Each structure stands twice: as C-alpha cells, then as structure tokens.
Amino acid sequence: MKKDGEIKLLLEERGKGTKQKLAAARAGVSERTARKYEQAGKLPSQMKKPRVHRTRDDPFVGDWPWVEAQIRADQALQTKTLFALLCATFPGRYQEGQLRTLQRHVQAWRVRHGPGQEIMFPQQHVPGRMAQSDFTTMNALGVSLAGTPFPHLVYHLVLTYSNVEAVRVCFSESFEALSEGLEYCLWQIGGVPEWHRTDNLTAAVRDLDRDGMHEFTQNYRALLAHYDMQPSANTAGQAHQNGDVEQSHFRFKQAVDQALRVRGSRDFANRAAYERFLAELVRQRNLTRSMRFEADRAALRPLPAAPLDFTREITVRVSRFSLIRVLLNHYSVPSRLIGASLTVRVRSEALELYHGPVLVLILPRLSGRNRHRIDYRHLIWSLVRKPGAFANYCYREELFPTTAFRRAYDELLAATPTKADAQYLRLLHLAASTSETEVELAITLLLDAGRTPSFEAVRELAGSNKPATAPAMAKTTIDLTDYDTLITAGGQHG
C-alpha cells in the first residue's frame, strides 16, 4: 500500500510537466503505480475500502442479545462486569483474552444505539478577568518533616487566561484558610483579577436562594470587596465549572511528585524547607507561561495598599475547668485566666487570645469539631495539689505528653499502685517547672536500667544532667601606674 505523501509528490511532479517515468522515479513508485493513481485521481487513503467481512467467528454472537439487554437496562455497567458475569454463567466458554473483543462490541453498540453524552463547551478566557481557586489534599505524596508524616492541604489559585498559579500550605478548608490563602496568592501574583470563582465551600457560599442563585457569606463578600473583586461559584456537583483549577490540581501534584522523585527524598528538615521547595517549583512552572502572563499582568488591577488581614473575633469566657470553647473545640489555658472574658482572633492555624487590648496567649488551632487540646502546663499547678482528681479526669490521656511519660506512669502503677497518681503528677510538675526534655531523658534512662522512675530518682538524675555552675569571677582592679610611666617616658624622649 502506497503512502499519500508518495502519490502527492508524484502528482506535484506531473503538474510541473515532468514526464511520467521521471516523476515516478522521483516519487519512488513504479510507472504502473503512477498510471494507476493518475487515472484514479485519488490518494491511497481515499481508495482504501473498509473491511466488511470478519476474519474469524464472533465468539459472543450467541450471547449478544443477553449482553445488549443488560446494557440497555443499566448504562453504567462496565464491560469488565458483563464479561465476568458471562464467565460465571457459562464456565469454560470464554477466555480472559476475549475481554477486548467484547469491549469493542460494547463500544460499537454505544456509538450506534447508546444515549447522548454530556457535551463540554470550551470557554474563551479574557486576560485579567478571572481567577479560580480551591483546596486540594497533598497526603498521597507522602511528604514528611524530620521523619514525621506531614498531612496537609494546599490552597491553589490559578489565573484562567495564562494559567499562572500560586499556592499556600494549609490544614483545613476554613474561611480563615481561604482568606489568608487568597490574599497570599494575590500578592504573589502581583495583581487583582475582576472575578474570583471558588467551589461551593461553606466558608464562602451558602445554599442557593429562592431564585436558584448563590448566596455568599458576609465575610467572603467583605474580603472580595477589599480587593474590588466580584464573587462567582460553580453549580453544586459540577466541578468542571471550576475546571482550570481542578485540572491544575492534577498537573501540580503530578509535578510535585516528579520533583520529589528527582530530589530522591520526600523528607524535609522542617516546614519552611518544604514551602521553599514548593515555591521554587511554582516559579519554574510559571516561567513557561510568561508570554500569556504579560497579557494577564497588563489587565490585572493593582493591589490595595495593604492586605486586609481579615480574622473572625469571638468572645469567650474561661470556665472553672480552665478551658475555653472555640468553634466547637476545647482548649486549656493558664488557670490565672479562669473567669476572664477573652477575645479570640481566629486565624487559619492559630488562636490569638486577648484580654482587653493585651495579647495574653497564642494557641495552635485544631481542625474539625469536638476535639480538644489540653496542655498539662496549664493544669499541673492545681492538679498536683489534688492528685485524686487525676484518675477520672476526662482529659487524662492528654496529660501524657510523650510515650516516656506514659511508660513512667505504667511502671509506677505496677510498683506502687496507691501512690502512682501522686508520684506521676509530681513528675509532670517537675517537667513544667524545669525542662520536659531533661525529665523525659531521666525517665528513659531509669526505665532502660530497670529502675522505677520515682519522683526522687528522676529529680536527682535530671539535676545531675545540668551543666556545672560557672565559677564566680571576681571584679579585677586595673592598675594604670605602669601605663602612666610609659606615656611619661615617651614624652620626655620626644
């Protein structure tokens, strides 16, 4: 079978007036072939007729009515499922290698008789008009910090015209993560688009109103008003309407995975090192979009004078249990704050606690609901005076800061059951008033030596680990007599 290119060359030569023999030689075909295609006036691909006969018998001809009935009844049935049913119903009749034949049959039936499919309509993007953003989980990439798994999300923003992107590491899809991520990404890009589209995040979008329109939360509207952007959201369940950022999620995580493979390790010294790695990857990816970004940059509006720094403020009162409840989670605070009314500024990763205008404490924020964060340092000063409260304290498990402390309590419980609680609380008190690291080291050394980590033994061993006290230095008296003599002698010599 000759190729279209050969015959096109032949016809071009003949069109120049070249004799048939010479034209055939230049095209690499025989004179007979040249005459054939000149007379036909068609290319080889146009003369090829589709094969209508089968080269072998159809193995599914007897059971095809049953197969057709199944796919008519349920269009979602996969061919693999149908083939497995056929093999189970007729053992020995079909072989594994015949699956591909059935797949071709089912595909041909769907093309000729199947229902219509949903059509996607490519959109025309305008420079500077829209940015899309969403959160995506990065857990499948297996990133770790100093050997510890690092589960996290990434807030991902993409300009729809140039596909220039920016990212920010976060840990939840809260409004605070959305607002901080959006501000960070806009300042990274260096301009503001006209519209911002997000998925149907509860942090930004309420249920549809009576007319079927999206209702945006007051906080989200205030955030966009600061940047003079218009809000937009895709229809619930229609992720393709946020398609630019959805596709960018896949490509970005694919690029991160490849970069991690080239790096040879998925472990980073700390979070800052990992964030620098992501920033450099984003910078390199954006370099390939620089030409289209020039058009985007020219159309983007300028950033405001300063970020909004938008945070929610919640007023809470510290309970008699030295706890506060913020967004359905409980946190311990120092007992001196019991009864005080505090203003909590909620950020994506931290809670800032103010008493009046004074910042009194910063706590790591918990993700999710009905969780608790109890710091033994906040409670131990009272608990060591009430050791009987330890046994049934509802947050008792939070009072084992490390595995070593848990092992110490179990060993104390086995050695002196009646005194174990009091002894363990004194260990916590020692850790809070000196150094948790030193106390933990002392506990580990005692346990490894087969000794019970009593308070006295731990205190003695932890105290011996401290460096010797530096000797007192007496104040030196400086005698300037020799210096004066030297200056006088020098003056006389001159």
How far is the CA of 329 from the CAs of 82, 174, 203, 316, 346, in angstroms?
50, 14, 18, 12, 12
Compute the Cα dihedral for 251, 252, 256, 259 and give only its sign: positive
Query: Which pLDDT score, from 0 to 100, does residue 402 have?
Result: 94
Q: How far apart are the C-alpha atoms of 452 and 338, rounded to whole Å?
A: 36
Name the residue among 418, 425, 412 with its Cα closest to residue 453.
Answer: 412
Please spell the DSSP secondary structure of 381-450, one letter per residue: HHHTT-GGGSTT-TTGGGG--SHHHHHHHHHHHHH-TTTHHHHHHHHHHHHHHS-HHHHHHHHHHHHHTT
Q: How far is CA 18 from the centre of its chain?
A: 67
The CATH number that domain 130-299 falls under is 3.30.420.10
Tens place of pLDDT for every residue, the chain, 494 residues? Answer: 688 888 888 888 888 888 988 988 888 889 898 888 888 888 888 877 766 656 677 888 888 898 889 888 888 888 999 899 888 888 888 888 889 999 999 998 988 888 887 776 666 788 999 999 999 999 999 999 999 999 999 999 999 999 999 999 999 888 899 999 999 999 999 999 999 988 766 667 765 555 545 677 888 888 889 999 998 875 544 444 445 667 888 899 999 999 999 999 999 999 999 999 999 999 999 999 999 999 999 999 999 988 887 778 999 999 999 999 999 999 999 999 999 999 999 999 999 999 999 999 999 999 888 999 999 999 999 999 999 999 999 999 999 999 999 999 999 999 999 999 999 999 999 999 999 999 999 999 999 999 999 999 999 988 765 544 555 555 556 666 665 666 665 555 54
Q: What is the pTM of this model?
A: 0.65
Taking the CA of residue 446 as centre, how many other CA atoms within 13 Å lie in the half-sphere pointing to its CB?
Answer: 25
Cα angle at 373 between 354 and 149, to 5 degrees?
A: 115
Q: How far apart are the C-alpha atoms of 387 and 1, rounded to whole Å?
A: 94
Q: Give the residue carrying structure tokens 């023999």.
A: 21
Query: Which pLDDT score, from 0 to 100, does residue 484 have?
Result: 65
Each residue of 240-258: b (16+ CB within 10 Å) or e? ebbbbbbebbeebbeebee
Backbone angles phi, psi at 77, to 5 degrees: -65, 130
- Is the separation of the CB atoms in 82 and 105 below 8 Å? no
Tokens standing for 260? 């991690």
In three-state secondary structure terms, 44 is helix
Query: Which pLDDT score, from 0 to 100, does residue 165 have?
Result: 95
The counts of H helices and E strands in the chain are 18, 17
Q: How far apart are the C-alpha atoms of 139 and 292, rounded to whole Å?
A: 32
Name the residue among 331, 316, 328 with its Cα closest to residue 372.
Answer: 331
Tokens standing for 115? 């229902």
Number of residues that this document lists for the chain:
494
Backbone angles phi, psi at 362, to 5 degrees: -120, 125
